[in-house]
Chains A and B, each alone.
Chain A
Amino acid sequence: MKLEERLLVWRLNRGDATALSEVYERCRDDLLRLAGSMLHDGPAAEDIVQDVFVAFAGAARTFRLTGRLKGYLATCVANAARNRLKAAARRRTTDLDEAASLASPGEPPDRWMVISEQFERVSGAMADLPAEQREVITLHVYGDMTFREIAEWQQASIKTVQSRYRYGLDKLRSALNEDQSAKCKTQSGE
């Protein structure tokens, strides 16, 4: 995989636009899921991923790969998502609990991301996690980043990152199980 990514970057450096499409197709869905899970805000997630892809395309001819390509792009998305959350918190205009559902009715018709019911449930449950846990889970699951890489990015120890992952998954499991139970009860008319 590493070799393939290096070749992909090499082709980008040489002006091969088909390589750009390959990068896009390889990473698009996971980056959208990553941003969607981190922000629980569909339009904002789309904006960020789009900006990252366009910025990457503009720099692709001189881009030098030092790690994994997907990990690099995931980090860009995560940085942008983190900045957006911080800015929103400063402006006191964002409240994840009150944020519109990702698939809420009335959304603009030209939305990029089409969300499944399952992803909506997952991202909803993810929104209740502490930000650090959410970051670790999304970067590891959707960004394919190792705990070591995430630890560097979060400036924390690997053990801390692993703990965040474990605790985060436990909470997610509980939340999704509760959600499932509630759904079953509703369906059975209880």
Chain B
Amino acid sequence: MKPNEDIERVLKEASIDVDGAADRRIRERMRQAYDRSAAPRRPDYWGLAFESRPVRWAAAAVILLALGVLVGQFGTMLSGGGVAWAEVTQRFQSVPFFYASIYMRDGALAEPRQFELWMGKGGHARMRVGPQVLFGNGGQVTHAFDVRSRAEVEADRTAADIIGILATSDEFSLETVIRSLSEGKLLEVTPAMNAEAALGEDLVVFDAQSVVSPGWVRIYALRESRLPVGLRIWDPAEGFCVDVLITYAKEPPEVFFDADAFAAHLHDPDRSETSLAYMFLKDPGGQIVTPHHQDP
């Protein structure tokens, strides 16, 4: 035992309790103060992405690509080296399906946490994080299953937030972005080509710098196809980091996004955790990804 542990334990174990009625009154006062502070304004997703760090960064980065943010009006401004940012975002918009492996690290020495995201057309989303497999539609998590306990569970909050952010696309318009960017921040947050950062001619690199923190985002895209394949978001102040690897394929069968079909096999003793985690997933290159590779 360390020298101070005995007395520290005494301090921590010196408990208090609260009176229920007084507690409810205080909660109510807080709730009223919170409600009074409500102001009707549209969310600033770009601001969220850079002020609130990793989780939002990853989701916001995917949003920026998925929705073609800054396309059109700023596209010509961004041209350089034969590839424009607008081409990258437009190309991304045209894909029917993508898979993103998102690694988030909370600080320089922290272990990263992986989120696997499959996004199809029509608002379908499936995600795996830790032992959880989540299904989403229209921005809401419809079901979350734990493949270890083989039970439906409460959705991982971070995963649910990411799916929620991604689904705000209906209200996430170019106009909103312009408005949020127009407070003197426009040029600073516009992704611009960074030729020095590209390792080869096949790759083009775009950078965008946050104006509210030292953070920056870097997008890697293929020169020929214009498809973005990687994102890195970095905060030099605290070592927060998000790495996103994006791959593309033809859309998987509908059953892959079907939570009921997934649940039907949840208690199948022949299925391992691996099999459940990636159930119904087909590798487009024909490689086996689960022990039950005969799934439709």
Contacts and interface: CB of A to CB of B under 8 A. Distances in A.
Q: Do A and B come from one complex?
A: yes
Interface of A: 2-4, 6-7, 9-11, 13-15, 17, 20-21, 24, 28-29, 32-33, 36, 50, 53-62, 64-65, 110-116, 118-119, 121-123, 137, 141-142, 165-166, 169, 172-173, 176
A2 B158 CA distance: 12
B30 A112 contact: no
Contacts of B1: none
B22 A118 contact: no
Given A6-B53, A59-B37, A112-B22, 4 more contacts: A3-B113, A10-B52, A13-B48, A141-B8
Interface stretch (B12-20, B71-79, B221-229, B244-252): B12-20
Nearest to A9: B52
Interface in B32-76: 33-39, 43, 48, 51-56
Contacts of A137: 11
Given A24-B27, A176-B10, A116 B17 contact: yes
A59 to B, nearest CB: 7
Contacts of B104: 3
B18 A10 contact: no
B19 A114 contact: yes
For B14, B106, B158, B161, which residue has the most chain A Cβ atoms within 10 angstroms? B14
Pairs A-B, 10 closest by C-beta atoms: A57-B30, A112-B22, A58-B33, A119-B14, A114-B17, A57-B33, A122-B14, A57-B34, A118-B14, A173-B7
28 contacts: A3-B104, A3-B113, A3-B158, A6-B52, A7-B157, A10-B48, A20-B34, A29-B18, A33-B14, A53-B26, A56-B30, A57-B29, A57-B31, A61-B34, A110-B19, A113-B17, A114-B18, A116-B17, A119-B14, A119-B16, A122-B10, A122-B11, A122-B14, A141-B8, A141-B12, A169-B7, A173-B6, A176-B7
Given A3-B55, A60-B34, A172-B7, A111 B106 contact: no
Majority SS at the chain A contact face: helix
Contacts of A36: 16
Contact of B16 (A14, A53, A116): A116
A184 to B, nearest CB: 16
B106 A29 contact: no
B287 interface: no
Nearest to B107: A2
Main secondary structure of the interface of B (DSSP, over half): helix
Nearest to B51: A64
Range of interface residues on B (Cβ < 8 Å): 35 or more
B23 interface: yes
A173 B27 CA distance: 36
B4 interface: yes
A121 B35 CA distance: 39
A121 to B, nearest CB: 7
Nearest to A15: B38
B284 to A, nearest CB: 33
Nearest to B21: A110
Which one of A9, A10, A110, A115 has the greatest number of beta carbons of chain B within 10 Å?
A10
Contact of B38 (A29, A53, A61, A173): A61
A10 B56 contact: yes
Nearest to B29: A54
A189 B241 CA distance: 65
Most buried by B among A55, A56, A58: A58
Nearest to A32: B16
Contact of B4 (A33, A65, A119, A166): A166
A107 to B, nearest CB: 11
